[in-house]
Structure 1
């Protein structure tokens, strides 16, 4: 597999992260949270294909669907919470879950497709570590861009951005279910 093919695959894997992060950024997110989420999603995009490579397809079939459902429910919850806070006037939304498990589940659900890709890397002539690092760097960059772009939009149009961001998260969550 060429570097170009790995980069294209990495962009495809990062698509979930960037769309999710635009929605999160629109809700209002602090710089420290941007760095933390960027780092976490990037690391998960390194770990997941390596894990997928070694776990194999049998276990992955079960994990993939369960993770998609959990991820979908979290996104729908976050979207509903964002929309609710637009109308409740409680101040800035802290959309990023406030505990470590929430961050891990969020990053894991966005990175689950990288686990599936890891299964297929075993049958291709690919340098696993090189592929995983490329996936992590690209996903981290796309996460950062999505969060900062969403934050920029949110600062310009305020509550409307948060409402729209909530709808984006709900839509992405629903798409994870199908």
Structure 2
């Protein structure tokens, strides 16, 4: 593969495709925290973008070092994503249902939950490492950076949409966010198993 317009278009297309799960989770986070500030939005979108950069590079490194073991791991990716997102979504759903009227604001998604979301939504990007295995390191890095930048932008959009509806849905937002995360986990699982 050579540097070309096609390379950049392909990278952007990979970024859009891989960012859809992170977009949906970002919307759920926006629903969960409708008064989120710009700095926090950047941190959340940056987390998703960072994982989308790291995972293809990890996949690329695996192909060049431990390809046989990584192929065996690939069949567990849908299960891992389902378990992680179902756990976080179930927790949000539970907290939203038991929330008492009188509580002021839904608690923000914590650091650990955000890391789990980042892993769960980007774990399928490991397989991109196989698709770009023939690329030299510089091109693999460029592709991963483009994917991360596209993901960042898409996640900012998801957070903004979620925030807008979160203020309108107020007390139901956390429940809806939990349902969305569980649905995304199921979708990743079904897509990965079939």
Scaled by the length of structure 1, the TM-score of the pair is 0.84
Structure 1 residue runs of 5 or longer lacking an equivalent are none
Q: Which residue is 1:69 aligned to?
A: 79
User: What do residues 96-142 of structure 1 show as CA deviations (whole Å, max 9, x unaligned)?
Assistant: 2343xx43332122111221111110236892122111001011111
Could you tell me how far 1:149 is from its partner in structure 2? 1.3
Q: Please list, as runs of the form range in 1=range in 2, the aligned pairs for 1:48-127 lying within 5 A after superposition.
A: 48-56=55-63, 57-90=67-100, 91=103, 92-94=105-107, 96-99=109-112, 102-123=113-134, 127=139
- Structure 1's consecutive aligned runs of 4 or more residues displaced over 6 angstroms after TM superposition are none
User: Which whole-Å CA distance do the structure 2 matches of 1:140 and 1:77 have between them?
Assistant: 24
Q: Which residue is 1:37 aligned to?
A: 44
Match of 1:150 among 146, 151, 162: 162
Q: Which residue is 1:10 aligned to?
A: 15
- How many pairs align? 176
Structure 2 residue runs of 5 or longer lacking an equivalent are 1-5
More deviation, 111-120/121-130? 121-130
Q: Which residue is 1:140 aligned to?
A: 152
Which of 1 and 2 has greater Rg? 2
User: Which whole-Å CA distance do the structure 1 matches of 2:124 and 2:80 have between them?
Assistant: 14
1:168 to 2:175 alignment: no
Could you tell me how far 1:93 is from its partner in structure 2? 3.0
1:28 to 2:28 alignment: no
Give the CA RMSD over aligned residues: 2.3
